[in-house]
Chains A and B, each alone.
Chain A
Amino acid sequence: MPETNGHDGTPESGAAGNGGGNGAGASKVGALVAGAKATQTKAIGELKEAIKAPEKTDVWKSILRVKHDETPRSRALGVLSNVFLHLHPAKINRDAVKYNYTWGMGGMTFYVYITLVFTGTLLMFYYHPSKVVAFRDILYLESDVPFGKLLRNMHRWGAHLMVIMVELHMFRVFLTGSYKKPREFNWVVGVLLLVLTLLLSFTGYLLPDDQLGFWAVTVGTNMARATPLLGHAGPFGPQLGMTPFNDVRFGLLGGSIVDSNALLRAYIWHCVAIPILASAFMVVHFWRVRKDGGISGPAAIMLESEIKEPKKI
Chain B
Amino acid sequence: MAAVLGTLGVNFLMFLRFFFPRALYEPKTRFKIGYPTDFGFGVDTKFQNQYRIWVVRNTEGIFVISAVCTHLGCTPDWKPSENKFKCPCHGSGYDPEGINFEGPAPRPMDRAHVELDPDGQILVDLSHLYQWPKGEPSQFNDPGAILRA
Segment at the interface with B among A4-12, A57-65, A103-111, A253-261: A253-261
With A255-B26, A256-B26, A257-B26 already in contact, the answer to whether A218 and B21 are too (CB < 8 A) is no
Contacts of B72 in A (CB 8 A): 218-219, 222-223
Q: Mark B25-52, 1 if CB is under 8 A from A, else 0.
A: 1110000000000000000000000000
For the complex, give the distance between the alpha carbons of A256 and B27 in Å: 11
Asked if A215 is an interface residue, CB under 8 A from chain B, the answer is: yes
Asked if A54 is at the interface (CB within 8 A of a chain B CB), the reply is no
Instruction: Point out the residues of chain B lying under 8 angstroms from A250, CB to CB.
Output: 20
User: Is A27 interfacial (CB-CB < 8 Å)?
Assistant: no
The answer to whether B24 has its CB under 8 Å from any CB of chain A is yes
Chain A residues with CB below 8 A from B10, complex form: none
8 A Cβ contacts from B62-118 to A: 72-74, 88-89
* Bound CA–CA A256/B19 (angstroms): 13
State A219–B21 Cα separation when bound (angstroms): 22
Q: In the complex, which residue of chain A has the Cβ closest to the Cβ of B16?
A: A251
B73 and A222 within 8 A (CB): yes
C-alpha gap A156/B87 in the complex (Å): 27
Expressed in whole angstroms, the minimum distance between the Cβ of B117 and any Cβ of chain A is 25
CB atoms of A255 and B73 under 8 A apart: no
Q: How many residues on B have C-beta within 8 angstroms of the other chain's C-beta atoms?
A: 13
User: What separation, in Å, do the CA atoms of A219 and B26 have in the docked complex?
Assistant: 19
Report the bound CA distance from A261 to B89 in whole Å. 23
A181 and B47 alpha carbons, distance in the complex (Å) = 62
List of A residues within 8 angstroms of B27 by Cβ: 257
Return chain B residues, CB-CB under 8 Å to A251. 16, 19-20
List of B residues within 8 angstroms of A257 by Cβ:
26-27
Contact with B along A91-104 (1 / 0, CB 8 A): 00000000000000
A218 contacts across to B, CB distance below 8 A: 72-74
- Which chain A positions have C-beta within 8 A of B21? 254-255, 261
Give the contacting residue for A219; candidates B20, B25, B73; CB below 8 A.
B73
- Which residues of A167-200 are within 8 A (CB) of B? none
| C-alpha gap A249/B21 in the complex (Å) | 13
* Cβ distance A247 to chain B, nearest Cβ, rounded Å: 10
- Find out whether the CB atom of B24 lies under 8 angstroms from the CB atom of A219: no
* Interface residue? A115 (CB, 8 A): no
A246 on interface, CB distance cutoff 8 Å: yes
Q: How far is the CB of B85 from chain A (nearest CB, A)?
A: 16
* Given A219-B89, A251-B19, residue A256 in contact with residue B24 (CB < 8 A): yes
Q: Which residue of B lies closest to A247 (CB)?
A: B20
Kindly report which residue of chain B lies nearest to residue A259, judged by CB atoms.
B26
Per a CB cutoff under 8 Å, which of B19, B73, B88 touches A254? B19
How many angstroms between the C-alpha atoms of A260 and B16 in the bound complex? 20
Are B74 and A215 in contact (CB-based, < 8 A)?
yes
Give the CA-CA distance A259 to B19 in the complex, in Å: 15
Chain B residues within an 8 Å CB radius of A256: 24, 26
Instruction: Report Cα–Cα, A255/B89, bound state, in Å.
Output: 22
Instruction: Give every chain A residue within 8 A of B25 (Cβ-Cβ).
Output: 260
Give complex CA distance A156, B37 in Å. Answer: 51
User: With a CB–CB cut-off of 8 A, which chain B residues contact A215?
Assistant: 74, 88-89
Chain B neighbourhood of A219, CB < 8 A? 72-74, 89
Report how far A237 CA is from B19 CA in the complex, Å.
19
CA of A261 to CA of B26 in the docked complex: distance in angstroms?
Answer: 10
CB distance from B29 to the nearest CB of A (A): 10
Q: 1/0 per residue A232-257: CB within 8 Å of B?
A: 00000000000000100011001111
Contacts A222-B73, A255-B26, A256-B24 aside, 13 further interface pairs with beta carbons under 8 A come to A215-B74, A215-B88, A218-B73, A218-B74, A219-B73, A219-B74, A219-B89, A222-B72, A223-B72, A246-B20, A251-B20, A256-B26, A260-B25
Interface residues of B, Cβ cutoff 8 Å to A: 16, 19-21, 24-27, 72-74, 88-89
Those 7 A-B pairs whose CB atoms lie nearest each other, nearest first: A222-B73, A219-B72, A222-B72, A251-B19, A218-B73, A255-B24, A215-B74
15 A-B contacts, Cβ less than 8 Å apart?
A215-B74, A215-B88, A218-B72, A218-B73, A218-B74, A219-B73, A219-B89, A222-B72, A222-B73, A223-B72, A246-B20, A251-B20, A254-B21, A259-B26, A260-B25
